[in-house]
C-alpha cells in the first residue's frame, strides 16, 4: 500500500472518522483516498479553503469532542501552526501528519527532514510542545498514526507524525493492527459537546486566553507538566548494532535511518563496527539513550545523519553532553544520501 | 404575580465589561432570549471572536469556544460537520470577520455550512483601540486614519451582507440594527429566524447588526446612535438580502 493511503486508512482503523485537509504535494493522496473512503466508513471528509482554515476546523471538531486529524506538508504545516498553537493552548487532542518536503519557502516537493526544528521546538507561538513521532516505514507510519489518537487524548495535546516524502510516496506491505481500541476517551469534563449530550447543567468552555498573569503562568505550568510527563512516559527509540564495540555512533530517524542501516551492515562486513540510535519520538528526544550509547568506551565519535542541514545536531550534542565529538552529515532538497556516501563520511571520521 | 421581565436563562449573572452605550449587551440579550424561547441551551455552542466580544463566553450560560482572529467560521464548520445536531453560532465583529476572517466567512457561507453568524458591525476595531476597519465609513477618523478614511487610498467600506448574498449558494442573509427599540424587535426576529433555519438544517444564516462604539468614535452614547443612523444606515441599509426558498 502507498504510504499516504495507508496513513488515511490507519486513521479510520483507529476510529478517527473526521478528516479536514487542503491539498499539497507530496501528501495529496491522503485527501484523495479519504474523499472516497470516509463517506464509505460513514465519516466526515471536507476539503477546506486553506491550511489556516483547516487547522481551525480541526480545533472546532476536537473541542466538540471528536477524534479528528489532518495531513499536510511543510508549507501547509507552517500555515496550520497558528491553529496548532491555539489547540495546544486550549488543550484539545488532535493529530497532524506532516509529510515533509524541502524548504525554506516553496523549497521543493521531494523528500526532506527540514521541519525537525519546527516540529520539535518552534511550531506556533507560545510555550507548548507537540508529541512528535517519526516513522521509518509505511508499516510504522500506520502504527504511529493509530497510536497517535489515544496519545493525543491522554495528554489533551496535539500529536504530530513527522514523516518525510518517501514515507508518503513509497509502497510497502502493511498489516493493520487488530483489536485496536477505537473508543475515544470520555471528554465530558471539558469538551463543548453540548450540555444535553453530557446530561450536565455545567457548561464547558474551550479557550486559550488568560488575561490574568498569574492564571496564565499557572496554565503554562499545567502544560509544562504534561511535557515533563511525556518525557517520563513516551520516549521511544531503537538500537541498531549497539551490542558491538562500535567506534562511531550514528543518530538518525525516518527514511534516513534505513540508509544508515544499510551502511552499517556494509561496514560490518568490512570489519568496521558502527552503532545507531534511531529516535522514534523526536519530542521527547531519547536523550538518555543517546548519552548512554555515546558513553561506550569504544565509541570515539557521534554523528547526526539527516536529510536536513543539521537540525537535529543540537539535540544530539545536548544528549552527548560533550563526552564525544558530534559531527553532522546530510543532504537536503530531495536527494537522499546513499549508503556509499554515508560510508564515505563515516570513514572520514 | 410572577415576574414579567427577567434575565434569560441563557445569560449568566456576570456584569459585562462593555463600555457605556455599547450595543453588544443588547445583542447578547437578544441571542439569549431566542435560545430560551427555542429551548436549545443544552445543544448550543457559541464561538467567541477576537475583539471586544472575546469574553462573550463569560456572559452566556452554555458551551462556548474561543476562536483566533477571524477563524470562528472555520471552527463552526468543524463542529457542525462532526456534530450536526448541535446549534452553533459565531459572534464576530467587523475587524474580525470583514478583515482577517474574510476568507473563512466567505467559504463557510459558500459551502452552505449549517451554522449562524451574528456579525456586529460598528465600523471600527474596538478591542485594539479604535483602528480603521474594512467597514469604517469614508472620512471617518480612527486611530489609523487620523485624517479620515481616504477611499482613494484604501477603498470603500465593505458591505458584507451584500457580498455574502451575492454567492449562489442558498442562505439567509439579512442586515438589522439595534439603535432603537423598534429595530431591536426586528433584529431579534431575524436572529430567531436564522437559528430556526439552522435547526431545520436548511442553510447558512447570517445576521449583520449595525452597532455603535461610543468609546472609539469619541461620541456620547446618544450622539453615537445619531451618528450611526445618519452615517451608517444609509450605506449599510437594513433589509433582507437573501432568503432561502
CATH of B24-242, one of 3.30.365.10, 3.40.50.970, 3.30.360.10, 2.30.110.10: 3.40.50.970
pLDDT value, residue B4: 80
Q: Do B43 and A196 touch (CB under 8 A)?
A: yes
Is residue A113 within 8 A of residue A166, CB to CB? The reply is: no
Using CB atoms, which residue from A20, A56, A204 is nearest to B67?
Answer: A56
Structural domain boundaries of chain B? 24-242
**Mean pLDDT of all residues in B119-128:** 96
Mean pLDDT of B52-61: 97
Question: A144 to each of A54, A151, A160, B160, how far by Cα in Å?
Answer: 22, 10, 10, 44
Q: Are the C-beta atoms of A92 and A63 separated by less than 8 Å?
A: yes
Inter-chain residue contact B75 with A57, CB threshold 8 Å? yes
| CA A20 – CA B71 distance, rounded (Å) | 15
Residue of A19, A64, A68, A189 to mutate, interface with B, max B Cβ within 10 Å: A64
Q: Residue B212 burial by CB count (10 A; 0-12/13-18/19+): exposed, middle or buried?
A: buried
HSE (side-chain half, CA atoms, 13 Å) at B111 = 19
- What is the CATH class of A3-194+220-233? alpha beta
Exposure on the CB side of residue A121, measured as CA atoms within 13 A = 9
Give the distance from residue B46's alpha carbon to the nearest chain A alpha carbon, in angstroms. Answer: 9
Contact (CB, 8 A) for B57 and A207 = yes
Answer whether residue B3 shows pLDDT above 90.
no
Q: Which residues of A touch B (CB under 8 A)?
A: 18, 20, 44, 46, 48-50, 52-66, 68, 82-83, 86, 90, 192-197, 203-209
pLDDT at A182: 80
Contact A63 B79 (CB under 8 A): yes
Mean pLDDT of B226-235: 98
Pairs across A and B, CB distance < 8 A: 128
Diameter of chain B measured on Cα atoms: 61
- Enumerate the residues of chain A whose CB falls inside 8 A of the CB of residue B115: none
- The pLDDT tens digits of the residues spanning B59-118 come to 999 999 999 999 999 999 999 999 999 999 999 999 999 999 999 999 999 999 999 999
Smallest CA–CA distance from A206 into chain B, residue: B65
Q: Which residue of A has its CA nearest to B80?
A: A61
Which residues of chain B have a CB within 8 Å of the CB of A49?
A: 103-104, 107
Report, as an integer, the average pLDDT of A56-71.
Answer: 98
Section A124-133 average pLDDT: 97
> In chain B, which residues have their Cβ closer than 8 Å to the Cβ of A83?
68, 71
Provide the H-helix boundaries in chain B: 24-38, 72-82, 94-95, 102-111, 151-154, 160-165, 181-199, 214-217, 221-227
Half-sphere CA count of A138, side-chain side, radius 13 A: 19
| Cα–chain center distance at B166 | 19
Alpha carbon A109 to chain centroid distance? Answer: 19
User: Inter-chain contact B45–A194, Cβ cutoff 8 Å?
Assistant: yes
What is the tens place of the pLDDT at every residue in B179-215?
A: 999 999 999 999 999 999 999 999 999 999 999 999 9
CB spacing of A194 vs B79 below 8 angstroms:
no
Mean pLDDT in residue range B149-162 = 98
- Name the pLDDT band for A122 (thresholds 50, 70, 90): confident
DSSP state of B114: S
For residue A204, the chain B residues in CB contact (below 8 A) are 63-64
Query: Cis ω on the peptide bond leading into residue A180 (within 30° of 0)?
Result: no
Q: What is the pLDDT at residue A37? A: 98
Residue of B nearest to A209 (CA): B66
pTM: 0.97
Do domains A3-194+220-233 and A237-348 share one topology? The answer is yes
Q: Is the CB of residue B45 less than 8 Å away from at least one CB of chain A?
A: yes
| Cβ pair B86:A59 closer than 8 A | no
A237-348 to CATH, choices 3.40.50.1100, 3.40.50.920, 3.40.50.300, 3.40.50.2000? 3.40.50.920
Task: Choose, out of A194, A209, A215, the residue to mutate when testing the contact with B (most B CBs < 10 Å).
Answer: A194
Q: A206 to chain B, minimum CA–CA distance in Å?
A: 5
CA-nearest of A135, A64, A72 to A100 is A72
Q: Is B35 on the interface with A (CB under 8 A)?
A: no
* Inter-chain touch A50–B103, beta carbons under 8 Å: yes
Query: Residue A78 has which C-alpha cell?
Result: 507552517
pLDDT at A44: 98
On chain A, the residues whose CB falls within 8 A of the CB of B47 are 60
For range A75-87, the mean pLDDT: 98
Query: B74–A54: do the CB atoms touch at under 8 Å?
Result: yes
Helix (H) or strand (E) holding B177: strand B171-177
Residues A155-189 pLDDT 10s = 999 999 999 999 999 999 999 998 787 887 899 99
Tell me the percentage of chain A whose pLDDT exceeds 70: 100
Nearest CA of chain B to the CA of A46: how many Å? 8
* Banded model confidence at residue B1, pLDDT cuts 50, 70, 90: low
- Mean pLDDT, to the nearest integer, of A206-214? 97
If pLDDT is split at 50, 70 and 90, which confidence band does A140 have?
A: very high
> Which positions in chain A touch B86 (Cβ < 8 Å)?
64, 193-194
pLDDT band, residue A263 (cuts 50/70/90): very high
B78 and A57 within 8 Å at the Cβ level: the answer is yes
Grid cell locating A147: 497510536
Per-domain residue ranges of chain A? 3-194+220-233, 237-348
A52 Cβ neighbours under 8 A, 6+ residues apart: A79, A80, A82, A83, B71, B74, B103, B104
* CA–CA gap between residue B184 and residue B187 (Å, rounded): 5
pLDDT digits (tens, 9 = 90+) for B82-97: 999 999 999 999 999 9
The verdict on a CB contact (< 8 Å) between B41 and A195 is yes
Amino acid at each position: 500500500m502507498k504510504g499516504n493511503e495507508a496513513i488515511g486508512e490507519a486513521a479510520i482503523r483507529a476510529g478517527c472518522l473526521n478528516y479536514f485537509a487542503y491539498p499539497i504535494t507530496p501528501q495529496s493522496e491522503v485527501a484523495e483516498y479519504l474523499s472516497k473512503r470516509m463517506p464509505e466508513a460513514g465519516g466526515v471528509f471536507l476539503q477546506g479553503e486553506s491550511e489556516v482554515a483547516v487547522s481551525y476546523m480541526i480545533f472546532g471538531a476536537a473541542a466538540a469532542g471528536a477524534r479528528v486529524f489532518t495531513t499536510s506538508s511543510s508549507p501547509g504545516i507552517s500555515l496550520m501552526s497558528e491553529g496548532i498553537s491555539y489547540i495546544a493552548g486550549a488543550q484539545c487532542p488532535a493529530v497532524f501528519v506532516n509529510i515533509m518536503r524541502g524548504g525554506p519557502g516553496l523549497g521543493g516537493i521531494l523528500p526532506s527532514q527540514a521541519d525537525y526544528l519546527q516540529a520539535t521546538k518552534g511550531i506556533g507561538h507560545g510555550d507548548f510542545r507537540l508529541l512528535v513521532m517519526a516513522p521509518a516505514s509505511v508499516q510504522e507510519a500506520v502504527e504511529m498514526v493509530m497510536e497517535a489518537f489515544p496519545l493525543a487524548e491522554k495528554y489533551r495535546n496535539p500529536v504530530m507524525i513527522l514523516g518525510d516524502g518517501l514515507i508518503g510516496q513509497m509502497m510497502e506491505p502493511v498489516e493493520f493492527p487488530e483489536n485496536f481500541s477505537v473508543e475515544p476517551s470520555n471528554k465530558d469534563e471539558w469538551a463543548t459537546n453540548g450540555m444535553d449530550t453530557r446530561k450536565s447543567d455545567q457548561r464547558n468552555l474551550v479557550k486559550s486566553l488568560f488575561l490574568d498573569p498569574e492564571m496564565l503562568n499557572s496554565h503554562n505550568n499545567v502544560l509544562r507538566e504534561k511535557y515533563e510527563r511525556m518525557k517520563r512516559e513516551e520516549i521511544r527509540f531503537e538500537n541498531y548494532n549497539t551490542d558491538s564495540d562500535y567506534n562511531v555512533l550514528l543518530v538518525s530517524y525516518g527514511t534516513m535511518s534505513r540508509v544508515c542501516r544499510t551502511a552499517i551492515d556494509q561496514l560490518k562486513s568490512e570489519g568496521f563496527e558502527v552503532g545507531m540510535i534511531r529516535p522514534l519520538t523526536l519530542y521527547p528526544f531519547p536523550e538518555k539513550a543517546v548519552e548512554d550509547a555515546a558513553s561506550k568506551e569504544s565509541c570515539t565519535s557521534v554523528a547526526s545523519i539527516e536529510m536536513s542541514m543539521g537540525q537535529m545536531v543540537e539535540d544530539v550534542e545536548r544528549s552527548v553532553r560533550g563526552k564525544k565529538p558530534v559531527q553532522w552529515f546530510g543532504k537536503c532538497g530531495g536527494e537522499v544520501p546513499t549508503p556509499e556516501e554515508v560510508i564515505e563520511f563515516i570513514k572520514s571520521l | 404575580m410572577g415576574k414579567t421581565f427577567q434575565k434569560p436563562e441563557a445569560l449568566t449573572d456576570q456584569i459585562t465589561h462593555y463600555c457605556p452605550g455599547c450595543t453588544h449587551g443588547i445583542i447578547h440579550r437578544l441571542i439569549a432570549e431566542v435560545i430560551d424561547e427555542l429551548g436549545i441551551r443544552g445543544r448550543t455552542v457559541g464561538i467567541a471572536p477576537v475583539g471586544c466580544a472575546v469574553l462573550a463566553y463569560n456572559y452566556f450560560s452554555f458551551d462556548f469556544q474561543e476562536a483566533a482572529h477571524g477563524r470562528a467560521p472555520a471552527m463552526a464548520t468543524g463542529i457542525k460537520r462532526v456534530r450536526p445536531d448541535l446549534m452553533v453560532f459565531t459572534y464576530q465583529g467587523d475587524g474580525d470577520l470583514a478583515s482577517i476572517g474574510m476568507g473563512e466567512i466567505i467559504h463557510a457561507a459558500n459551502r452552505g455550512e449549517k451554522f449562524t453568524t451574528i456579525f456586529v458591525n460598528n465600523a471600527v476595531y474596538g478591542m485594539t483601540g479604535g483602528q480603521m476597519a474594512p467597514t469604517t465609513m469614508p472620512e471617518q477618523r480612527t486611530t489609523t486614519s487620523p485624517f479620515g478614511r481616504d477611499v482613494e487610498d484604501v477603498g470603500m467600506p465593505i458591505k458584507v451582507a451584500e457580498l455574502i448574498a451575492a454567492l449562489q449558494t442558498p442562505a439567509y442573509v439579512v442586515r438589522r440594527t439595534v439603535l432603537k427599540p423598534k429595530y431591536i424587535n426586528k433584529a431579534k426576529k431575524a436572529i430567531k429566524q436564522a437559528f430556526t433555519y439552522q435547526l431545520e438544517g436548511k442553510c447558512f444564516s447570517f445576521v449583520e447588526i449595525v452597532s455603535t462604539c461610543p468609546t472609539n468614535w469619541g461620541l456620547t452614547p446618544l450622539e453615537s446612535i445619531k451618528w450611526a443612523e445618519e452615517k451608517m444606515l444609509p450605506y449599510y441599509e437594513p433589509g433582507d438580502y437573501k432568503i432561502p426558498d
